[in-house]
Amino acid sequence: MTILLQGFEGPLFDWSWVRSHLTSEIIPALVGHVYLSFVSVAIALVISLPTGVLVARYRKAYAPVTLVTGVLYTIPSLALFAILVVVPGVGVGPKAVIIALVAYSLLVLIRNVVAGIDSVPPETIDAARGMGLTEGQILLKVELPLALPVIIAGIRIATVTVIGIATIGAYIAGGGLGALIFDGIDRSFPTMVITGAILATALAVATDLLLLGIEHYFRPWARAAGRRG
Amino acid sequence: MIEFREVSKLYPGSRSAAVKDLSFEVPDGEICVLVGPSGCGKTTSMRMINRLIEPSSGEILIDGEPNTSMSGTELRRKIGYAIQQIGLFPHRTIAGNIATVPQLLGWSKERIRKRVDELLEMVGLDPGDYRDRYPSELSGGQQQRVGVARAMAADPPIMLMDEPFGTVDPITRERLQDEFLKIQQEIRKTIVFVTHDIDEAIKMGDRIAIMEQGGVLAQYDTPENILTSPASDFVASFVGEDRILKRLSLSRVSEMELESAEGAGKDLPRIKGDPTVRDALSQLVGAGVEAAVVERAGERKLLTLRAIEETLGNRRGRT
């Protein structure tokens, strides 16, 4: 920060700036960040759920799917943004950021959907089939509900990762809390950098806890297991 | 009635058949036990009845209709299914588990609720206490009771049970077997029951199908006939050298014709209750005597080694 904020003089954190820019800059940046992260994870989930279910069924597809999403996952985020902005029809802005964030989420989400379905005891599925549930009913009423904790664990990891990477999206005009950070660096004004960083971290922690609560809510049977004497 | 007609199953990639030319009939209201060493195809045979496995050749008729006359799922909803690992749904309550098939069949909520409570009572679990619990809160024996209740939920005329009492301790298992036999006396289902345990087969079966390696039916008969006249060396060795004793465990002292003990020595030991003939013999041998007194409806009767021998003779004569 000392290098980035060269020539800076004055207090490290200026509360009066926070007060005067709360509604004009800080809250819109936070809302923008929530939007970027939420939309990205939602889109990634829409892709990952069916893909994961298919891969869990057709095992041969697991290696290639992991390879492709794994390669996407390892591309440095700044490089991926740079590539995306020159793609026709994408360009600078939130669209490129969302595409990149979706790409980063796929590996974790797909892997957890598959792991979740794998964790369902085979005898439970055998019993379900033996009682006359159709394949669709087995998936919706048995496999997915039982896989839910593992899937939500994946969503938690993906969301926290995405909230972090989304800050870099401001570099290509994606908006969000990264805009505060980049602006602060440009203007050698640490208050903006610190505000953006703290809010991004707080958002990640809060979302993680929220998802943990949701997971708990959807698993009454796990709570019951704790009651067994 | 369930009828196997020259049913064979050859798994792809396997050279030898899992089940070979299997033909036998299970009459209505009887328990037919499929028993044999592991790999004899007994579970495969059972799973072909509700088409969890499709036979490679031959057909299976249920009440005269081939079991392929309706869809697999439709067929399975009409046949109760209970397995060793139970496979309760961990995310559903006990009531939810038992209600599985009735829900699939579209029963009303009220009817399902009544049926669930009725079944819980039948298998000896207090509905008020267990209805809303989750499987993880139950002991192994309780879970197996729920598994059996779930299989009976929609009152199917046929039930398939694959070692349904397999995962509990011997004492609990014996109790579950006794309770189930009592329930069966009332409900009179046609049951195909798989086990590897010949003692369980003898206890539970109205008929026993002994299968050997390669999915071949070695003998199909009543427990008594199998014990009296095993059809092959394999059956004889599978049943065990103690088959005479096993036969004695099929009947109880109260079923024997005994002479009055009036006038007999007062120093003879007494046998209490109504044990199986096998247990009574064990008590005689253990006490080192040739006769003991049993009390039946207030009358004192004389149980002798000779009378026990005669039961074996009578049985041989009868079959």
B85 to A123: CB separation less than 8 angstroms, yes or no: yes
pLDDT digits (tens, 9 = 90+) for A169-224: 888 888 899 999 999 999 989 999 999 999 999 999 999 999 999 988 888 887 76
* Among chain B residues, CA nearest to A144: B91
Query: Could you give the count of Cα atoms lying within 13 Å of B185 in the half-sphere of its Cβ?
Result: 5
State how far the Cα of B55 lies from the Cα of B60, in Å rounded to an integer: 9
Q: Does B43 touch chain A (CB under 8 A)?
A: no
- List CB contacts (< 8 A) between B88 and chain A: 124, 127
Q: Quickly count: other Cβ atoms within 10 Å of residue B82's Cβ.
A: 26
Tell me the nearest-neighbour CA distance from B23 into chain A, angstroms: 23
Domain interval for residue A136: 28-219
A221 to B91: CB separation less than 8 angstroms, yes or no: yes
- Which CATH number is A101's domain given? 1.10.3720.10
- The complex's ipTM? 0.84
Looking at chain A, the whole-number percentage of residues with pLDDT higher than 70 is 93
What is the biggest distance separating any 2 CA atoms in chain A, rounded to whole angstroms? 74
Residue A179 lies in a domain: yes
Residue A227 lies in a domain: no
Q: Does B91 touch chain A (CB under 8 A)?
A: yes
Tokens of A161: 């990762």
Q: Does B135 touch chain A (CB under 8 A)?
A: yes
- List CB contacts (< 8 A) between A221 and chain B: 90-92, 134-136
Compute CA B191 distance to the chain's CA centroid, rounded to the nearest angstrom: 8
CB within 8 Å of B139: residues ≥ 6 apart: none
Q: Quickly count: other Cβ atoms within 10 Å of residue B263's Cβ.
A: 8
The region, left, alpha or beta by phi > 0 then psi within -120 to 50, assigned to residue A176 is left
- List CB contacts (< 8 A) between A219 and chain B: 91
* Among chain A residues, CA nearest to B105: A132
Residue with tokens 């809390």: A177
State how far the Cα of B157 lies from the Cα of B188, in Å rounded to an integer: 8
Q: At what angle do helices A62-74 and A94-118 cross, to 10 degrees?
A: 140
Instruction: Fill in the amino acid letter for B159.
Output: M
Q: Which of residues 167-226 of B touch A (CB under 8 A)?
A: none
Residue A228 lies in a domain: no
Smallest CA-to-CA distance from B53 within B68, B40, B63 is with: B68
Dihedral sign, Cα of residue B204, residue B206, residue B212, residue B216? negative
Residue A142 lies in a domain: yes
Predicted local confidence at residue B14, as pLDDT: 87
Predicted local confidence at residue B22, as pLDDT: 95
Instruction: Fill in the amino acid letter for B255.
Output: E
The answer to whether the beta carbons of residues A150 and A218 sit under 8 Å apart is no
Kindly tell me if the per-residue pLDDT of A14 is higher than 50: yes
Q: Does B85 touch chain A (CB under 8 A)?
A: yes
Mutate to test the interface with B, among A134, A142, A221 (most CBs of B within 10 A): A221
Residue A53 lies in a domain: yes
pLDDT digits (tens, 9 = 90+) for A104-114: 999 999 999 99
Residue with tokens 């797909």: A110
A50-53: Cβ within 8 A, 24+ apart: A51/A106, A51/A110, A51/A113, A52/A109, A52/A110, A52/A111, A52/A112, A52/A113, A52/A114, A52/A116, A52/A117, A53/A113, A53/A117, A53/A139
Cα torsion A162, A167, A172, A173 to 10°: value is 110
What total number of domains does chain A contain? 1
Tokens of B254: 């109260």
Residue of A129 and B300 predicted with greater confidence: A129
Residue with tokens 């195909």: B192
- List CB contacts (< 8 A) between A123 and chain B: 83, 85-87
Of A127, A221, A227, the CB nearest to B83: A127
Residue A100 lies in a domain: yes
State how far the Cα of B186 lies from the Cα of B32, in Å rounded to an integer: 17
B133 to A134: CB separation less than 8 angstroms, yes or no: no
CB within 8 Å of B195: residues ≥ 6 apart: B33, B34, B35, B163, B166, B201, B204
Smallest CA-to-CA distance from B211 within B227, B200, B198, B199 is with: B198
Element (H, E) at A229: none
Tokens of B38: 């592991």
Predicted local confidence at residue B317, as pLDDT: 43
Q: Quickly count: other Cβ atoms within 10 Å of residue B303's Cβ.
A: 26
Q: Where are the beta strands (DSSP E) in B29-143?
A: 31-35, 57-62, 65-66, 79-83
State how far the Cα of B5 lies from the Cα of B250, in Å rounded to an integer: 31
Q: Quickly count: other Cβ atoms within 10 Å of residue B162's Cβ.
A: 21
**pLDDT by position in tens, chain B (length 319):** 999 999 999 999 888 899 999 999 999 999 999 999 988 999 999 999 999 999 999 999 999 999 999 999 999 999 999 999 899 999 999 999 999 999 999 999 999 999 999 999 999 999 999 999 999 999 999 999 999 999 999 999 999 999 999 888 889 898 999 999 999 999 999 999 999 999 999 999 999 999 999 899 999 999 999 998 999 999 999 998 888 888 888 888 888 888 887 776 677 888 888 888 888 898 889 888 888 888 877 778 888 888 888 888 754 444 3
Instruction: Fill in the amino acid letter for B287.
Output: A
Residue A19 lies in a domain: no
A123 to B87: CB separation less than 8 angstroms, yes or no: yes
Mean pLDDT of chain A: 90
The answer to whether the beta carbons of residues A113 and A56 sit under 8 Å apart is yes
The answer to whether the beta carbons of residues B2 and B60 sit under 8 Å apart is yes
Of A126, A145, A225, the CB nearest to B87: A126
Residue A122 lies in a domain: yes
- DSSP 8-state secondary structure symbol assigned to residue B267: T
Tokens of B11: 């798994």
Predicted local confidence at residue B318, as pLDDT: 41
Q: Does B106 touch chain A (CB under 8 A)?
A: no
State how far the Cα of A101 lies from the Cα of A72, in Å rounded to an integer: 10
State how far the Cα of B45 lies from the Cα of B42, in Å rounded to an integer: 5
Q: Does A129 touch chain B (CB under 8 A)?
A: yes
Q: At what angle do helices A77-85 and A94-118 cross, to 10 degrees?
A: 130
Predicted local confidence at residue A5, as pLDDT: 55
B87 to A124: CB separation less than 8 angstroms, yes or no: yes
